[in-house]
Chain A
Amino acid sequence: MMKLSPALLSLASVFKIPLRPYTILPAPSLLPKPFPSKTPFSTSSVSLARKDQRNKVDKRITLIRYHLNHPATPRPLRFSRLRALRHWTIHRAAQLHLHTQRRLEQLELERQYNAMRAACEELRVGLDDGGRLYRQTTTRKGLFGGLKMEGEIVGNGGVPIEYAKAQVDGPPRGGWDHGWMR
């Protein structure tokens, strides 16, 4: 038996590692195994005998099943009084912050809307061109649906595809990619 240090022993006891004495296994004998003495019960040939015909499940699927059946929700957090208060304070503050942000966005949109309406009204009535400029401004041609050019539909229904890029923090490393298309 191998000698183990007491530190290792205590670690093994902590982590519940079973300590097995290291033994040398006997080498597998190279001699052929003895022929089974019992005669098979069936007289049919071996090839006809049924192999293991249970459909074997892919190991990946077994793994997926294992992870899908992960025991559900952990128990909810339990906070002490002070921690709960702290959480409550932060939660309220975050909600308030979100609320003010949303309200500011709403107000900004409202301001823009009112400005647009005032401008349209000015164009319609204020200029003495019989509302010509107003009509030109408020036309919505090509906004919805593909623009038809020479029998085929071009474009993305009014909104150019170059416009539809999510905002990023900075410019790309390689500058403007002229070959970019979608």
Chain B
Amino acid sequence: MAASKVPSRLLPFSQKQKFVCLRCQWTTRRSASTYTIETDLSEDVVPDSSLLTPQPDQDIVTAWDPVQRSRNRKRQLPPSRYKFRPPRYYRGPLHPHQPPSPSSPNSRLFVPGPFSLPRLQQTYTSTLAPDLLSLLYTHHPPGTLPGPTGQRLRGWDNTSPYHKNRPLRGPRGRAVLPLMKRPITFRNIPRLEKIVVHHVIRSSDNRDSSYLHVAGMILQAVTNVRATVCKARHSIANFKMTKDVTAMAVKAELKGEDMYCFLSKVVDVVMPRIKEYKGVSGGSGDGSGNLAFGLQPSAVGMFPEVEVNYDMYPPKMIPSVDVMVCTTATNDRDARVLLSSMGIPFHGKHAN
């Protein structure tokens, strides 16, 4: 019975149901009884398919009584006969043996939560988002579009006949195409997307794995996320680096609750206590709404999780940490407004 549907794309065009929307066509099921051998299958389809297997005999059908059979059973079935066992390896979406969905607690991917609503997140949804919406609002009178966008990929001036049919040139001075600037509406108010906290190990410390371990432990304690080790991407003999072997950095990627908690810790606890702190450099940012700043080892020591048992870590090995804040803003200007409304001070010339 399970094999009674034939995808319509396997049928020749004349057999496809006409005047039926594509979605209905996909969900159409044909029972084996309506399936005739006369249907001319295309040559890709094996003609002797399981669809044509005859039904079981009537006496077999009548004799089939699973309830009675289970009652007659003397002892319980072994667990392997009735328990679902997830596959050891994921064999793709078409395999019949599928792992449980990530939302079910049986799954290894299941992440319980969210358990709390961080204060910063609450502030964002209730206050910051409407305020940012009104701050960043640009008025376009009805019937007008935001001005013409400049040329993104540069064309060729047709001074040479060889310019014909050439692909457009990339942006001047960089390899990456800058993101488009769109007017901010209620749909795309800039918000935090993720925060990456990482620590690059100095090459002189690379021999001693203890720096790596201490940094990983501190990152884990501070961010509530298991730190992962980044390996070298290239082999460089002068630096004694081997590709995929030498550990270069530890990093932790924060999303959701952890991200908001971490940022509010940085803003409310750490930054006010840094001596002579001017703020994050106004020139930081990659041009597409991701800002970054660094924290010195002395500042990392001021995180409450580290400070509470500072003696646990060798003081020389406390890492300096880079924090990369990824926002959904498409330019640094909006991202800076978002972060400064969350309490990160900026100093110096702002690169907008």
* Chain A residues packing against B (C-beta within 8 Å): 57-58, 60-61, 63-65, 67-68, 73, 76-79, 84, 87-88, 91, 105-106, 108-110, 112-113, 116-117, 120-121, 124, 134, 138, 143-146, 153, 156-159, 161, 163-168, 182
- Contact check, A113 vs B135: say whether CB atoms are below 8 A apart: no
**What 10 pairs between A and B have smallest CB-CB spacing?**
A164-B343, A145-B350, A109-B186, A166-B119, A113-B186, A120-B139, A77-B105, A159-B340, A61-B210, A159-B341
| Interface residue B142 (Cβ < 8 Å from any Cβ of A) | yes
| Interface residue B345 (Cβ < 8 Å from any Cβ of A) | yes
- Contact check, B137 vs A116: say whether CB atoms are below 8 A apart: yes
User: Which of A84, A112, A167 is close to B104, meaning CB atoms less than 8 Å apart?
Assistant: A84
B305-319 toward A: CB 8 Å interface, digit per residue (1/0)? 000000111100100
User: Which of B122, B133, B139, B349 is close to A167, meaning CB atoms less than 8 Å apart?
Assistant: B122
- Contact check, A116 vs B210: say whether CB atoms are below 8 A apart: no
| Interface residue B6 (Cβ < 8 Å from any Cβ of A) | no
B57-94 toward A: CB 8 Å interface, digit per residue (1/0)? 00000000000000000000000000000000000000
By a CB distance below 8 angstroms, the chain A residues around B235 are none
By a CB distance below 8 angstroms, the chain A residues around B214 are 61, 64
By a CB distance below 8 angstroms, the chain A residues around B141 are 121, 124
Give residues 268-282 of B contacting A (CB, 8 Å): 268, 271-272, 279, 282
* Among B12-20, B29-37, B106-114, the stretch in contact with A: B106-114
| Interface residue B230 (Cβ < 8 Å from any Cβ of A) | no
- Contact check, A113 vs B337: say whether CB atoms are below 8 A apart: no
Bound complex: CA A110 to CA B343 (Å): 26
| Interface residue B217 (Cβ < 8 Å from any Cβ of A) | yes
B294-335 toward A: CB 8 Å interface, digit per residue (1/0)? 000000000000000001111001000000000000000100
Bound complex: CA A120 to CA B138 (Å): 10
Nearest CB of B to A60, in Å: 6
- Contact check, A167 vs B217: say whether CB atoms are below 8 A apart: no
- Contact check, B107 vs A76: say whether CB atoms are below 8 A apart: yes
User: Which of B138, B312, B350 is close to A144, meaning CB atoms less than 8 Å apart?
Assistant: B350
- Contact check, A143 vs B337: say whether CB atoms are below 8 A apart: yes
- Contact check, A109 vs B129: say whether CB atoms are below 8 A apart: yes
- Contact check, B340 vs A182: say whether CB atoms are below 8 A apart: no
By a CB distance below 8 angstroms, the chain A residues around B198 are none
- Contact check, A166 vs B120: say whether CB atoms are below 8 A apart: yes
Q: List 12 A-B contacts (CB under 8 A).
A: A60-B312, A64-B313, A87-B104, A134-B139, A138-B138, A153-B348, A157-B337, A157-B340, A157-B346, A159-B341, A164-B344, A165-B343
B5-49 toward A: CB 8 Å interface, digit per residue (1/0)? 000000000000000000000000000000000000000000000
Of chain A, the residue at the smallest CB distance from B131 is: A163
By a CB distance below 8 angstroms, the chain B residues around A106 are 186
- Contact check, A109 vs B217: say whether CB atoms are below 8 A apart: no
Of chain B, the residue at the smallest CB distance from A94 is: B114
| Interface residue B178 (Cβ < 8 Å from any Cβ of A) | no
By a CB distance below 8 angstroms, the chain B residues around A182 are 271-272, 343, 345
| Interface residue B264 (Cβ < 8 Å from any Cβ of A) | yes
Nearest CB of A to B351, in Å: 9
- Contact check, A77 vs B106: say whether CB atoms are below 8 A apart: yes
By a CB distance below 8 angstroms, the chain B residues around A157 are 282, 336-337, 340, 346, 350
Of chain A, the residue at the smallest CB distance from B105 is: A77
By a CB distance below 8 angstroms, the chain A residues around B349 are 145-146, 153
By a CB distance below 8 angstroms, the chain A residues around B311 are 60
Nearest CB of B to A152, in Å: 10
- Contact check, A144 vs B336: say whether CB atoms are below 8 A apart: yes
- Contact check, B352 vs A146: say whether CB atoms are below 8 A apart: no
- Contact check, A58 vs B337: say whether CB atoms are below 8 A apart: no
By a CB distance below 8 angstroms, the chain B residues around A121 are 139, 141-142
| Interface residue B225 (Cβ < 8 Å from any Cβ of A) | no
User: Which of B127, B129, B343, B347 is close to A153, meaning CB atoms less than 8 Å apart?
Assistant: B347
| Interface residue B196 (Cβ < 8 Å from any Cβ of A) | no
Nearest CB of A to B281, in Å: 12
Bound complex: CA A84 to CA B103 (Å): 11
B125-159 toward A: CB 8 Å interface, digit per residue (1/0)? 11101100111011101100000000000000000
User: Which of B103, B268, B314, B348 is close to A166, meaning CB atoms less than 8 Å apart?
Assistant: B268
Nearest CB of B to A160, in Å: 9
